[in-house]
Structure 1
Amino acid sequence: MPASSNPLLWIIVGEPSGDALASVILTALKDKYPNIICQGVAGPLTEHAGEFVSLFPYTDLCHMGVGSVLRNSVSLMRRYRQTIDVMHHQRPNLLLTIDCPDFSLRVSQAVSALTQRVHCVAPSVWAWRKRRAQTLRKKTDYLLHLFEFERHFFPQIPCFWVGHPLADQEPPNQTLFWLSYPELSSLYPLVCILPGSRVQEIQRCWPIFKQSVETLKQNEKNLQAVVVTLPEHVKIFKQEGYITVTNPLLKNSVFANASAALACSGTVTLELALHKTPMVIGYKVSPFLAWMLRRLVTTPYAGLVNILAQEMVAPEYLQNNFTSQNITKALKSLLYTSPEINSCHYFEKIWSNVKTPQGFAATSAQVLARILGIVENASYRKELETVT
């Protein structure tokens, strides 16, 4: 599709995490190319960055689990048809999809003859459901992936490593946490507890996390603990007497000062690793889901930090091994030994998988601009043709 003086970029995101990613991409893109017009389905951050109003509330797409999807199937199908009809009317120069693959990639496949398509965040085929790598070529034209090693899993599609936004954060203010909580002291060890972002995770993980820390406190009289959580969950932990942190800047300061962290498996383990915070990973799912995952998951690790390092740099205690005895012992060990996560070897391996020279936002914006034809770059176009 030839370049336009006012190219139309369509965006589809369906989750808060995707809203955050899309917003920083659009901020970088429109800062350099203000003539780009944005439309689509997105959250408030992306709407503000792209200067548009979402076609419909992006929360209409936020459904987790088969039951929720089935209950809302009629509404989802209506939104699917609405999205395609509007795109055919507006005829965008490029479609950018982020997360929510069951909806966004279905739309992307339906408009393959209408526009160029880019999907951001590769499906985790290195962990489970490898067949998705083979079918992705029909659903999008280009892939922006966050981790360097992911390129090798998608040989049939042009891939561009853009890095992970967590690697672009400014160094934390080390003193911010202590200034915010003068009742605590930097002279004593601090344990940071991250019991999950979803209610189901908290219900399964928090009792074990709490018991482990309380047991440790009986032997370590000066041990301090703080819970990092979302605003909507603060009440759960405050009523049990725990200091809670929700502010992102304050959270980073906690990570930088923590002697050890106790975390659910997830992206937060990468965030802790980039702050060089030693951690213990604990997680539990329902017996049925655990049975399913044992047959689907192909990676030997659950924690993202271990997957990136290709080593067990953070001990994992899952399912039946997720006990207060195991967690307490592991936390105590971290408080009195030099953890492997601080090793330059492991940190560099993780860092090299998530950090691009220009950073996530600038790299992603540059790729989109070149695909749109705004930037003429012979070497880049040659690379596109070669990969294709």
Structure 2
Amino acid sequence: MTADNRLVWIILGEPSGDLLGSALLTILRQQYPNITFRGIAGPLTERVGQFVSLFPYTDICHMGIGSIVKNGIFLIKRYYQTVRAICAQRPDLLLTIDCPEFSLRVSRAVRNVTKRVHCVAPSVWAWRKGRAKTLAQKTDYLLHLFEFEKNFFSDLPCFWIGHPLADQVPAHKDEFLHAYPEIVSSHCLIAILPGSRLSEIKNCWPVFKQSVENLKNTIPFLQSVVITLPEYEKIFVKDGYLTVTNPLLKRSVFANSAAALACSGTVTLELALCKTPTVIGYRVHPVLAWGLRRLIKTPYVGLSNVLAQEMIAPECLQENFTSEYVTKALKTLLECCENQDIQKGFQKILSNVRTPQGFSLTGARVIAKILGLPEYL
């Protein structure tokens, strides 16, 4: 038996987790080729880990109380199936990545079977702060993406590994310009990101579209491009908008854009890391908004603003999510995009999300240490 012969079990339940899992496993596989991986994962992590998921990882990817209740019996079956598999295989380590409603329940159930590591801290800084106290019962170690999160988890060994978005190579402007020669580099360009789900697009696109049309009446030669998924492209093409569906071009679009208009989400962090001034627009059902206002403790909604601890990306939310408010916010941003406070905010975000060695190497080294593997150079 070699020194690095270990069995590592993985649980993740959505595409973002699949990206994180594959990045960590790539380094672990390179440095410790005799590790065996098993578990529940997406195609990227399966390929790198050289295993077949116990069942499709989409089975445990449910958002919102309605979806969880609707699929409750099915999720319970998957829960017991997963616990039985872990107890039977007795891995040296269980790595759970996000998907806390399912993965941490399983992790708690196998506490006497294996060492447990959870990657991606619950957003206790935003709501339900009590989760920080109970997390120590559900896992043994925490890998967190944002530097400031360590202050919330004093009862648990925490390791800041950074965010993978901060490790991406800066984009070249020419990539987008070569792919789309109709774009004039000397004219103002706005990137529009109306969401990755159809419900978000239906909610955001009418306001986003009208806001850009308003700006075109005041800014000569204004250009715009919608960044979307291939399955939604026809929605925007029908309205006469240029679209980009190639994810490899996204950061090049950001680099060429004077400003961006985005619904809230991780993309606001990606825009900030590209130093693209952004307006955030979003609206939820009034009843849900009423509840969220009583739960959320942070003064900001956009992740970029939370990390900067100031409003560097104007937020047009709920009753302020109208074309009039969004147009005004965009126009103001375009007029002061070189604002020093915004630029300092971008730098503050970077220091909160990038570790010296990067997400993959830092995370893999922590996992290897917990497994008792010899340290590599």
TM interval, short-chain normalised = over 0.9
Matched with 2:129 is 130
Find the residue that maps to 2:331 and give its secondary structure: helix
Q: CA deviation at 1:376?
A: 5.6
Aligned residues: 375
Give me the TM-score of the superposition, normalised by structure 2.
0.97
* 1:320 alignment partner AA: E
* 2:118 alignment partner AA: H
Q: CA deviation at 1:375?
A: 2.5
Using the TM superposition, name which of 335-344 and 190-199 deviates more.
Answer: 335-344
Q: CA deviation at 1:244?
A: 1.1
1:191-340, aligned counterparts within 5 Å?
191-340=190-339
Matched with 2:58 is 59
- Separation in structure 2 between the aligned mates of residue 75 and residue 329 of structure 1, nearest angstrom: 47
Matched with 1:188 is 187
Matched with 2:16 is 17
Find the residue that maps to 1:219 and give its secondary structure: coil
Say whether the 8 Å CA contact 1:278–1:342 is kept in structure 2: no
* 2:56 alignment partner AA: P
Matched with 1:384 is none
Q: CA deviation at 1:269?
A: 0.8
Q: CA deviation at 1:337?
A: 2.1
- Separation in structure 1 between the aligned mates of residue 240 and residue 202 of structure 2, nearest angstrom: 17
- Separation in structure 2 between the aligned mates of residue 341 and residue 303 of structure 1, nearest angstrom: 20
Q: Cα deviation per residue 1:9-57 (whole Å; 9 max; x = unaligned)?
A: 0000000110110000000111111111000000000000101000001
RMSD between superposed Cα atoms in Å:
1.4
- Separation in structure 1 between the aligned mates of residue 84 and residue 292 of structure 2, nearest angstrom: 37
Say whether the 8 Å CA contact 2:4–2:33 is kept in structure 1: no
Using the TM superposition, name which of 226-235 and 153-162 deviates more.
Answer: 226-235
Cα gap change, 1:338 to 1:59, in 2 (>3 Å)? closer
- Separation in structure 2 between the aligned mates of residue 5 and residue 374 of structure 1, nearest angstrom: 6
Percent identity reads 64
Matched with 1:31 is 30
* 2:120 alignment partner AA: V
1:174 paired with 2:156, answer no
* 2:190 alignment partner AA: V
Q: Cα deviation per residue 1:298-326 (whole Å; 9 max; x = unaligned)?
A: 00001111111111111111000111111
- Separation in structure 1 between the aligned mates of residue 340 and residue 261 of structure 2, nearest angstrom: 14
Runs of 4+ in 1 over 3 A off after TM superposition: 338-344
- Separation in structure 1 between the aligned mates of residue 183 and residue 261 of structure 2, nearest angstrom: 19
Say whether the 8 Å CA contact 1:133–1:154 is kept in structure 2: yes
Say whether the 8 Å CA contact 1:143–1:158 is kept in structure 2: yes
- Separation in structure 2 between the aligned mates of residue 287 and residue 253 of structure 1, nearest angstrom: 36
Cα gap change, 1:244 to 1:157, in 2 (>3 Å)? same
Find the residue that maps to 1:46 and give its secondary structure: helix
Matched with 1:94 is 93
Q: CA deviation at 1:222?
A: 0.3
Matched with 1:385 is none
* 2:161 alignment partner AA: V
Q: CA deviation at 1:66?
A: 1.6
- Separation in structure 2 between the aligned mates of residue 247 and residue 5 of structure 1, nearest angstrom: 38
1:105 paired with 2:104, answer yes
Say whether the 8 Å CA contact 2:258–2:337 is kept in structure 1: no
Find the residue that maps to 1:175 and give its secondary structure: helix
Say whether the 8 Å CA contact 1:277–1:341 is kept in structure 2: no
* 2:117 alignment partner AA: V
Q: CA deviation at 1:280?
A: 0.7
- Separation in structure 2 between the aligned mates of residue 292 and residue 218 of structure 1, nearest angstrom: 38
